[in-house]
A and B are shown apart, each in its own frame.
Chain A
Amino acid sequence: IQLTQSPSSLSASVGDRVTITCRASQGISSYLAWYQQKPGKAPKLLIYAASTLQSGVPSRFSGSGSGADFTLTISSLQPEDFATYYCQQVNSYPVTFGPGTKVDIK
């Protein structure tokens, strides 16, 4: 199952609403997770089951979608949110990741 993400990168300002989309090459129900990664660090789980917020993750992050189309939304971008975001499908093996979306400062 191939995952595509759009955009591949974006520039935004603190306080902006940011939306990242992830599309699967076939339906994956709600078996999709989102991760945040900062340079030199391990990925951090943000959202799983398409829309469930991982414990400890700020509520400005939200996820939606099912089937083949999914979105990650950051309601009000904070300085610590500048990072690369990956979607991951866990519907079936091989597990696959999207190519990533880099969010940087405008």
Chain B
Amino acid sequence: EVQVVESGGGLVKPGGSLGLSCAASGFTFSSHTMNWVRQAPGKGLEWVSSISSSSTYIYYADSVKGRFTISRDNAKNSLYLQMNSLRAEDTAVYYCARVRFEDGHYIRDDLWGQGTLVTVSS
């Protein structure tokens, strides 16, 4: 089955750290750019970070730059998000998503996981 499954969410205190994982299966993970997208409770979607297939290109939202680190291990078909210096406003469901390109241009996120909840609270 073609899927991505996130894990690693939980409760963490402000200023703390947490690492998320996304396990991919059923497709050639090493060929795809991957995203992290989050959604705060009752709010809309917010793109967090992208990493290209070979980790050459990495992008972050300004809201997480300097605090979050995206990485991947193609041998393990896994995507990661290391989150440091967490704030209450980082509380959200975090989704990983597969990116599709056409003619060399980002065109859509076509496969999403079910998400993992991160709660930052004292």
* Complex CA–CA separation, A44 to B115 (angstroms): 13
Q: Which of B35, B100, B107 is most buried by chain A, counting CB atoms within 10 A of its CB?
A: B107
* Contact A42-B114, Cβ < 8 Å, known A31-B106, A33-B108, A49-B102: yes
Q: How far is the CB of A87 from chain B (nearest CB, A)?
A: 10
Question: B61 contacts A94, CB within 8 Å?
Answer: yes
For the complex, count residues of B whose C-beta is within 8 A of A: 23
Tell me which residues across on chain A come within 8 A of B113, comparing CB atoms: 42
Tell me which residues across on chain B come within 8 A of A33, comparing CB atoms: 107-109
State which of B44, B45, B59 has its C-beta within 8 Å of the C-beta of A94: B59
* Complex CA–CA separation, A48 to B101 (angstroms): 11
Tell me which residues across on chain A come within 8 A of B50, comparing CB atoms: 93, 95
* Complex CA–CA separation, A81 to B108 (angstroms): 21
Q: How far is the CB of B98 from chain A (nearest CB, A)?
A: 10
**Chain A binding surface, main DSSP class:** loop
Question: B106 contacts A90, CB within 8 Å?
Answer: yes
Question: A93 contacts B114, CB within 8 Å?
Answer: no
* CB pairs A–B below 8 angstroms (16 shown): A31-B105, A33-B107, A41-B114, A43-B37, A43-B112, A48-B100, A86-B44, A86-B45, A88-B109, A90-B107, A94-B62, A95-B50, A97-B44, A97-B46, A98-B44, A100-B44
Q: Which residues does B use to contact A, with CB under 8 Å?
A: 35, 37, 44-47, 50, 59, 61-62, 95, 100, 102, 105-110, 112-115
